[in-house]
Structure 1
Amino acid sequence: MSLINPLNNTQSATGQPQQTSAVTPQASQATTQSSASTEQTSSTGNPFLDSLRLPAENSIPEPNSQELSQEDFFSLLSQQLSMQDPFKPVDNDQMIQQMASFSTVDGISKLNEEIVNLNALTTSSQALQASGLVGQKVLIPSDTGYVSAEEPNIKAIVSTPEAIKDLTVRVEDETGQLISTFAVDGSAGGNVDITWDGMGKNGEPVAEGSYTLKVTGNVDGKSEELPVSTYAHVTSVSLGTAATGAILNLRGVGGIKISDVLAVSES
């Protein structure tokens, strides 16, 4: 009886031995390289087909300026001269007009920059001059003044269209409540000075805060409310902008443009 090695041969049902197939390492490496090469994108040799393929990375172009510079203008002018019909050249007058127009636009742009710089310089100079108002009082077109420990009273000016013998002054707080009432002689007419001593109806000093002075008088037989301007203490000066100019910061009142100041007083 003969024995068959199962590791080398396999006997079929008919009794004929069958050989088993083995995969060599060289064949396995070749298969791996073949599959890897199919995954990579190779060039077809056709520029049109290669251009249709999507790029590996999406590149975002940098934004370009929409303004034409002088170099862009001369580049366009050079293209125009190179593409013109030699039998119908561009008229010299038209070319000079185009160059003059561009020079004018460029000059206006530079002039605008100089004006901006001049405005900034003017604003700084105005703020420096306005700094001399710190510590003084300015007259502003407002009927509201501020009472504090440093300034226990309110000074104002009422403008009258004519001589009015009796002017009635009503002092109200921020809520509109009546604090005091007194009379002023306005027979001189014009701008009449008013001073409220900061005392309430009970004869005691009022609390620190903002108070409104309302003045009425008889004009042509009718009682009318007259415009009032009050004095405010300047505590500091802000630089502001070219449009607003220097800003005066007033105690208890807020900021006001220096152009809105009506008068300046030492006390």
Structure 2
Amino acid sequence: MTSLAPITASGPSRDTPTPTGNRPLGQQDFLTLLTAQMKNQDPLNPMDNAQFMGQMAQFSTVAGIERVNDTLMGFGSVMRDMRLSAASNMLGQSVLVPGTVAQPDKDGAIRGAVEVQAPVQSMVISYSDARSGTLLHTQTLGPQAAGRAAFEWTDLPPNLAATRSPVRITIDAMQNGEQVPLDPQVYARVLSASAGTGGDDITLQVEGFGAINMLEIDAFR
């Protein structure tokens, strides 16, 4: 008589999913688990279609979210590289920052701008030595509409331009017959650029002003 070989439990059944250790479950693992669940379900109370589709929908949602997260992470890396590239192109250039003290640029000029909130009849820009307070130069401009008004002083004394001595700027305007002060912005040179620890923010080191977030810069030359 033919004898049957005994059944042993030395290895996992074909219907039993192999443990995955600490690695996350993937789509193949899910399908393996679902197949085992269907084969070993109670024949008197089988899983209905709604349960089956619900599990499939949950897995599809999780997998879709993971793909979106991966895409966003890749997109963030690309944006960081683009910002760094843009920041590197600004090295040696001048950016517009709020401030009352400026240094002559590479052309030996003082340049800046002022935000005019409401139209003014006239505007006077005064340049003085930032150390001694001595008045160096004044400019009288005509009527200015609301918006950003640019100004520049290009014929600096040669010694002032050569030493790049700091110059203080004050702006007074006539508005409805009254004199009103305005806050100037000045162009200053970008010395370096660096990315934050998270890679999200780009910080510019601006001469005379220190660290400034690149997102705060809206004009450069």
Which interval holds the TM-score relative to the shorter structure?
A: 0.5 to 0.7
> Structure 2 residue aligned with 1:119, among 69, 73, 76?
76
Which residue number in structure 2 is paired with residue 87 of structure 1? 44
CA gap of 1:110–1:149, structure 2 versus 1, over 3 A, is closer
CA gap of 1:256–1:196, structure 2 versus 1, over 3 A, is farther
SS in 2 for 1:263: coil
Which residue number in structure 1 is paired with residue 190 of structure 2? 234
Q: Which amino acid aligns with 1:103?
A: S
* Higher RCO, Cα 8 Å, sep 6+: 2
Equivalent-residue separation in structure 1 for 2:86 and 2:72 (angstroms): 21
Which residue number in structure 1 is paired with residue 172 of structure 2? 216
Matches within 5 A, 1:41-52: none
Which residue number in structure 1 is paired with residue 65 of structure 2? 108
Equivalent-residue separation in structure 1 for 2:124 and 2:102 (angstroms): 22
Equivalent-residue separation in structure 2 for 1:120 and 1:74 (angstroms): 33
Larger Rg, first or second structure (1 or 2): 1
Equivalent-residue separation in structure 1 for 2:105 and 2:96 (angstroms): 20
Please say if 1:184 is aligned against 2:139.
yes
Equivalent-residue separation in structure 1 for 2:155 and 2:133 (angstroms): 15
Please say if 1:195 is aligned against 2:153.
yes
Taking only aligned residues, the RMSD between alpha carbons, in angstroms, comes to 4.0
Identity across aligned pairs (percent)?
Answer: 23
Contact 1:138 1:261 survives alignment (8 Å): yes
Q: Output one character per residue of 1:80-133: Cα deviation in whole Å (capped at 9) or x when no partner.
A: 657754333222122122222222212212321221122112211332233222
SS in 2 for 1:134: coil
Q: Output one character per residue of 1:30-81: Cα deviation in whole Å (capped at 9) or x when no partner.
A: xxxxxxxxxxxxxxxxxxxxxxxxxxxxxxxxxx97x963477567756765
CA gap of 1:90–1:179, structure 2 versus 1, over 3 A, is farther
Q: Output one character per residue of 1:163-189: Cα deviation in whole Å (capped at 9) or x when no partner.
A: 432425475859xx9554754323141
TM-score, with length taken from structure 1? 0.54
210-219 or 103-112: bigger deviation = 210-219
Aligned residue pairs, count: 193
> Structure 1 residue aligned with 2:114, among 128, 136, 158?
158
Which residue number in structure 2 is paired with residue 249 of structure 1? 205
Q: Which amino acid aligns with 1:98?
A: Q
Matches within 5 A, 1:3-22: none
TM-score, with length taken from structure 2? 0.64
Structure 1 position 231, deviation (Å)? 0.4
Please say if 1:136 is aligned against 2:104.
no
Equivalent-residue separation in structure 2 for 1:157 and 1:113 (angstroms): 43
Equivalent-residue separation in structure 2 for 1:168 and 1:133 (angstroms): 28
Contact 1:184 1:194 survives alignment (8 Å): no
